[in-house]
Each structure stands twice: as structure tokens, then as C-alpha cells.
């Protein structure tokens, strides 16, 4: 996928769900994976000509794993003229050494998001962009069905009232395969996930299950995504989606 195509699909999602308003200051969470780096490229490109002017910043929450380096992200942000901040934490030590969590993902995600939200507020941002794509949407739905017994997934826009921040997901209409193509084409400086639980999580199990389902029933992922869009789930109806100062009504 070329950069122009990436920006085009991202813009379609942004427009459809009214993610960006005039004067927004948006923080992009950079984890080091292909998705967040693709998101950074897309928003940095759109910033030049999008009808609603907005500013951009990038933030990496360093979990404290040995060997994790942000040097290449710093270089990339300088190249794209995006202010960049690294937030050092001891989340890895808390989760794996102090708490010794057998299922560490939930606690880690909660602490990581808390650090990201705080940093975004300190940088004067009113919105945070997450790099979730349409495969993530479907995987989250399947996880919710399997482990919680409910039909639920995250929405394209989420208002966090405690922090007075709005989470937007500009890649919501992109397939993961497209992002992989973009990563390969532009040789994004992806950093391998140093977490010892990587590849051995409920999400990874669900991803593999969905991949197998799609192999046996071609198009099942697309049909599931369509079911989400037509289900009436909160935040997915574009007809009634209105915003006021970035807050879904």
C-alpha cells in the first residue's frame, strides 16, 4: 500500500465518524509496532491539507523492558516534524516482578493508557489517536463473545470523561494486510515487542482462530465487520453521530 492510499482510507474513516475538528491537538501513541507507525505517517500527511487544521504530537510509553530503544522513533518524528516525547515507566517491573501477574495484559494496558493519557494532557492535547484497525475491531468482538458472553467491541470515537480526552481511531477502516503492505513498502522502523507474554495471549489466540475461520469461510472477517457496523452498537451509527467540542453526544 502506498502512502497516498493509506491517507485516503484513513481520511474516509476520519470523515465518516467526524474524528477531527478545527484546532484539535492530537497525540499519537507510538508503541513501536507497525500499526502505530503507519498511523503516525497517515496523520502527519493529512495534517498538510485536511480541511480542519490540527496539530500533532507523538508519545511513547516506555514500559521499562531491557533492550527497548526509541532512537529510531525519535529520528522518524524529527523527519515528519512531529514533537516527540518518551515517558519512562516501571510498568514491566510492577506487572512481572512485583505483582507477578499470570494474565498481565489487562493491568499492563490499564497502566500504559494511564501514562499515555497523562502525558497527552501535559502536552496540551485534547485527543489521542489509537492505531486500531478493522481486524482489531472484529478480534475484540470475538474475544468479547468467547470470554464475556456479550456482543461488544470498541467504537471509532470514545470520550474519556475523567480525563476530558477523546480517543479517535483513524485506521478503523483499514485491514491489517494493508498496513503490513505499507510497512514492507516503506520499511517502517518497527521495534520487536519485548514483552515476555507477546504471542501467548487471549488476543493472539483469537487472532489465530479468526484467521482459521476466514480460511475455511472466505470473507467471514468482512461479514463480521459489516455486522458490527449495522448492529446499532454505541458509536457505530454514522447517521446519528454528532460531536460537540470533540465529545460524542
Tens digits of residue pLDDT in 118-161: 999 999 999 999 999 999 999 999 999 999 999 999 999 999 99
pLDDT computed for residue 26 by the predictor: 98
Judged by DSSP in three states, 157 sits in strand
The CATH class given to the 3-134+153-194 domain equals alpha beta
Alpha carbon distance, N-terminus to C-terminus of the chain: 35
- Which CA distances in Å does 159 have to 11, 30, 33, 156, 249? 20, 20, 24, 10, 9
Give Cα separations from 230 to 12, 169, 236 (angstroms).
18, 18, 8
If one counts every other C-beta atom within 10 angstroms of the C-beta of residue 71, the result is: 9
Phi first, then psi: give them for residue 64, nearest 5 degrees.
100, 15
- In angstroms, the CA 249 to CA 241 distance is 7
The pLDDT value given to residue 199: 67
Helix (H, G, I), strand (E, B) or coil at 127: strand
Nearest to 230 by CA among 174, 151, 168, 136: 151
Confidence of residue 244 (pLDDT cuts 50, 70, 90): very low
Q: Is the pLDDT of residue 240 over 60?
A: no
- CA 144/CA 155 separation, integer angstroms: 14
Q: Which three cell numbers stand for residue 148?
A: 464475556
The pLDDT of residue 97: 82
User: Rounded to an integer, what distance in angstroms lies between the CA atom of residue 152 and that of residue 228?
Assistant: 9
Cell numbers that stand for 61 in this block: 510509553
Average pLDDT taken over every residue of the chain: 90
pLDDT tens profile 77-100: 999 999 999 999 989 889 888 887
pLDDT, one tens digit per residue, over 170-210 is 999 999 999 999 999 999 999 887 777 776 788 889 999 99
The pLDDT of residue 238 is 65
Model confidence, pTM:
0.90
Amino acid at each position: 500500500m502506498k502512502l497516498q492510499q493509506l491517507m485516503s482510507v484513513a481520511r474516509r474513516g476520519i470523515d465518516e465518524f467526524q474524528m477531527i475538528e478545527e484546532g484539535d491537538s492530537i497525540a499519537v501513541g507510538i508503541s513501536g509496532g507497525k500499526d502505530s507507525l503507519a498511523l503516525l505517517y497517515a496523520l502527519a500527511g493529512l495534517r498538510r491539507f485536511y480541511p480542519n487544521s490540527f496539530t500533532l504530537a507523538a508519545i511513547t510509553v516506555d514500559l521499562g523492558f531491557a533492550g527497548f530503544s526509541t532512537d529510531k522513533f525519535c529520528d522518524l518524528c524529527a523527519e515528519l516534524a512531529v514533537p516527540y516525547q518518551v515517558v519512562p515507566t516501571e510498568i514491566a517491573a510492577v506487572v512481572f516482578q512485583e505483582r507477578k501477574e499470570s494474565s498481565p495484559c489487562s493491568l499492563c494496558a490499564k497502566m500504559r493508557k494511564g501514562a499515555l493519557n497523562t502525558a497527552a494532557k501535559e502536552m496540551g492535547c485534547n485527543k489521542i489517536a489509537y492505531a486500531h484497525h478493522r481486524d482489531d475491531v472484529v478480534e475484540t468482538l470475538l474475544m468479547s463473545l468467547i470470554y464475556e458472553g456479550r456482543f461488544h467491541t470498541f467504537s471509532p470515537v470514545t470520550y474519556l470523561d475523567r480525563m476530558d480526552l477523546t480517543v479517535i481511531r483513524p485506521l478503523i477502516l483499514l485491514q491489517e494486510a494493508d498496513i503490513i503492505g505499507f510497512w514492507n513498502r516503506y520499511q517502517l522502523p518497527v521495534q520487536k515487542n519485548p514483552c515476555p507474554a507477546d504471542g501467548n495471549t487471549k488476543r493472539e489466540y483469537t487472532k489465530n482462530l479468526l484467521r482459521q475461520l476466514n480460511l475455511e469461510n472466505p470473507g467471514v472477517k468482512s461479514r463480521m465487520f459489516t455486522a458490527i457496523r449495522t448492529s446499532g452498537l454505541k458509536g457505530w451509527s454514522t447517521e446519528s453521530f454528532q460531536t460537540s467540542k470533540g465529545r460524542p453526544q
